[in-house]
């Protein structure tokens, strides 16, 4: 399919309003009814091996890619695992990554530096390099997530979509404009029918995608795999106009709680598109409706 051009028409319509519109529930799309994928576990594909002091090796798996480019959240999760290996605290609670160049599938080296450790947090710098070239640089804060804690206030959050997991539509590649998405064979990613207009060439212009995410073999999410979850969805700009690759330039993630068992609800929103760059915001809830992660990112984009 050719790139779809759409006028930017960001109004007051909400995701729930869009679900109620006639004709949006059954767009033509490339989907299949699938069970949880049988693929290598996330812990396996993000495994690290100690080399020397504050240095690790990892193997990047090519199937965690979009259009041949490895997913940024997947790369950040590997850096988060290396940071956790040297920290005095067990959970990643914040991470900010800058993507310098896209690594190829295969071996990489990770260098970590513990910048500070205190009673409540440890800060670590982590760098991924390949063949001597820096690929991703991140600052990562680790702390302790308290099981069973409840928010003091959450009035600034959007509401998660209420569509059941089994009523959402599994998404498979390629994209309507022909980009292969090998990543979709590694996870179970499902969109609300109201988010599927882009697949029929009729994006709504709202700039919002909502749905669910489940790891292969129902592997539980933790503070490491949540770093992937906040970058797992297609670009929310697809709900404005289809484009090619939307490369992440910078990604900041906050991990707020350890998820309850089960799939995650995800809401991805686009903000401003300007000078071939877009900012996106992601909210992630666990199966009980508790916010467990959120993120913002700046990405490059070319439209029409």
Say how far apart CA 213 and CA 209 lie, in whole Å.
12
136 within domain boundaries = yes
Domain membership of residue 151 (yes or no) is: no
As a whole number of angstroms, the distance between CA 217 and CA 68 comes to 24
In a domain, 1, yes or no: no
Short-list 173, 201, 212, CA closest to 32: 173
On whether residue 121 sits in a domain, the answer given is yes
149 inside domain: no
> Using one digit for the tens of pLDDT, what is the confidence trace for 121-134?
999 999 999 999 99
The three-class DSSP label of residue 239 is helix
Q: State the average pLDDT over residues 193-222.
A: 94
DSSP code for 43: H
Virtual torsion, Cα 69, 125, 297, 281, nearest 10 deg: 120
List the CATH number of the domain containing 22: 2.40.160.210
Q: Is 272 a residue whose pLDDT tops 60?
A: yes
The distance of Cα 303 from the centroid of its chain, to the nearest Å, equals: 21
The pLDDT tens digits for 65-116 are: 999 999 999 999 999 999 999 999 999 999 999 999 999 999 999 999 999 9
pLDDT at 9 over 70: no
Q: What range defines the domain where residue 40 resides?
A: 15-143+161-300
Residue 242 domain-assigned (yes or no): yes
> Does any domain span residue 10?
no
Strands (E), the chain: 48-50, 55-60, 65-66, 69-70, 91-99, 106-117, 122-130, 133-143, 169-170, 187-191, 208-215, 248-255, 264-274, 277-285, 291-300
Domain presence at residue 37: yes
Give yes or no for a contact between 130 and 99, defined as CB atoms under 8 angstroms apart. Answer: no
Domain count, the chain: 1
């Amino acid at each position: 399919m050719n790139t779809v051009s759409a006028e930017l028409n960001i109004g007051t319509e909400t995701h729930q309003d869009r679900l109620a519109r006639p004709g949006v529930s059954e767009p033509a799309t490339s989907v299949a009814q699938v069970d949880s994928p049988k693929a290598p576990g996330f812990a396996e594909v993000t495994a690290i091996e100690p080399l020397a002091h504050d240095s690790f090796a990892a193997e990047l798996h090519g199937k965690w890619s979009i259009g041949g480019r490895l997913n940024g959240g997947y790369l950040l999760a590997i850096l988060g695992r290396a940071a956790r290996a040297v920290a005095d605290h067990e959970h990643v609670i914040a991470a900010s990554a800058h993507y310098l160049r896209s690594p190829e599938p295969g071996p990489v080296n990770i260098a970590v530096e513990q910048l500070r450790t205190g009673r409540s947090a440890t800060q670590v710098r982590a760098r991924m390099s390949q063949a001597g070239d820096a690929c991703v640089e991140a600052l990562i804060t680790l702390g302790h997530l308290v099981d069973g804690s409840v928010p003091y206030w959450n009035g600034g959050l959007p509401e998660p979509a209420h569509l059941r997991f089994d009523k959402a539509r599994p998404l498979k590649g390629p994209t309507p404009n022909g980009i292969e998405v090998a990543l979709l064979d590694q996870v179970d990613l499902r969109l609300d029918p109201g988010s599927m207009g882009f697949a029929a060439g009729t994006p709504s212009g709202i700039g919002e995608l909502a749905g669910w995410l489940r790891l292969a073999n129902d592997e539980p999410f933790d503070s490491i795999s949540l770093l992937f979850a906040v970058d797992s969805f297609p670009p929310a700009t697809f709900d404005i106009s289809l484009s090619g690759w939307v490369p992440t330039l910078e990604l900041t993630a906050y991990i707020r709680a350890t998820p309850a068992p089960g799939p995650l609800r995800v809401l991805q929103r686009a903000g401003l598109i300007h000078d071939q760059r877009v900012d996106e915001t992601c909210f992630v809830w666990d199966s009980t409706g508790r916010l467990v992660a959120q993120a913002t990112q700046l990405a490059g984009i070319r439209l029409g």
